[in-house]
Amino acid sequence: MAIRFELLARDGQARLGRLTTPHGVVETPTFMPVGTQATVKGLLPEQLRAAGVQMVLANTYHLALRPGAELIAQLGGLHRFMGWDGPILTDSGGYQVFSLAAIRRIGDYGVEFRSHVDGSLLTLTPERAVEIQELLGSDIAMCLDECPPFDAGETVLREAVRRTCHWAERCRQAHRRSDQALFAIVQGGLDLALRQQCARTLIDMDFPGYALGGFSVGEPPASMYPVVAATAGMLPENKPRYLMGVGRPQDILEAVAAGVDMFDCVLPTRNGRNAQAFVRGGVLRLRNAVHRTDPRPLEDDCPCPACQHYSRAYLHHLFHAEEMLGPILLSLHNITFYQRWMAEIRQAIAAGRFAEYRAARLAQYGSDN
């Protein structure tokens, strides 16, 4: 097995685990920063390590376009190429089926994209998606899937589930690397019957891990939470469960409570580039005038360079002066915030007090200034 997952403790449905990969151990629940193009934007690998990052995510579609999977393989694989020696998960391009719907065509054979870079044709079949990820050499690869919008009709949802299962079987047949785990993705929108059908079919194929896909694509959180909880409960106890693309702190707390182990999202770095800092009380918007003369750090107890060396006033200045250091410092702070917070979640589960912790954090997290 390319990976080993150990369930160490449970508190209600919340799970404390350990995921062992060829490039290191990941304590779960865990949050993976997004390094779409073989970089977590603006941050060095050593800064990610210092912030507590265990695992990063990279993107099959984007790396296939630039610089090309074959070139990355020629240069020693994705770990060496991006200077990150820890675990890497690569998504399959399935999210781009949703996000780039205007420039793609889809059929049972796969997906054809018109490159957003130069208009060239990129064809992703299940087999090619696996081949690209094997060339990249990630620790965990994802099956190609069809991610429909949340408001898709029943016919579209049923077809997406059928195609996702069909593609998963083809990915499974094509996968060859013994040092890489292949995860399947459960689709079905907000339809629990379709989610159940998809989960049962994929579980019968016996993948080493399963993802919950098709969430955070426009649906309100109140609609998402019960479906996430029900879907997580459909998945095997002894294998990791990964909720794709969901990253608001409130959403992660609810998903951990439902038994989810792994998360990724662009929010920490995207919001950091847009002058928004995650703190215990909510979100600080550093462009706002209230921060212009504020000598305080973002958070008193945060070990990140932004908090240790700079004031809110200085960060406010950087963004108004359009200095690149501002986005770098806030991205690093936000990544640090998420990693410290996930460590607290793991500690709460281990101590059997996650429900109390979750309630306190949900009550605390809400201000925005």
- Concerning whether 264 is annotated as a catalytic residue, the answer is yes
Task: Give the closest residue to 29 by CA, choosing from 13, 47, 46, 48.
Answer: 13
Task: Give every strand in the sheet of 14-21, ordered side by side.
Answer: 4-11, 14-21, 24-28
Among residues 139, 251, 261, 264, the one annotated as catalytic is 264
DSSP symbols for 74-114: HTT-HHHHHT--S-EEEE-SHHHHHHTGGGEEEETTEEEEE
Paired tokens of 331: 């991205």
Residue with tokens 């909720």: 243
CB 112 within 8 A of CB 104: yes
Among residues 91, 139, 145, 261, the one annotated as catalytic is 91
What is the C-alpha separation between 151 and 218, in angstroms, rounded?
8
Report the DSSP pairing between strands 262-265 and 121-124.
unpaired
For the four alpha carbons of 181, 243, 8 and 230, in that order, the dihedral sign comes to negative
Give the largest Cα separation in the chain, rounded.
61
DSSP symbols for 13-62: TEEEEEEEETTEEEEESEEEEB-TTSS-TT--HHHHHHTT---EEEEHHH
Local structure of residue 241 (DSSP, 8 states): E
- Concerning whether 91 is annotated as a catalytic residue, the answer is yes
Q: Helix, strand, or coil here: 2?
A: coil
Q: Which amino acid is it at 210? A: Y
Active site residues: 91, 264
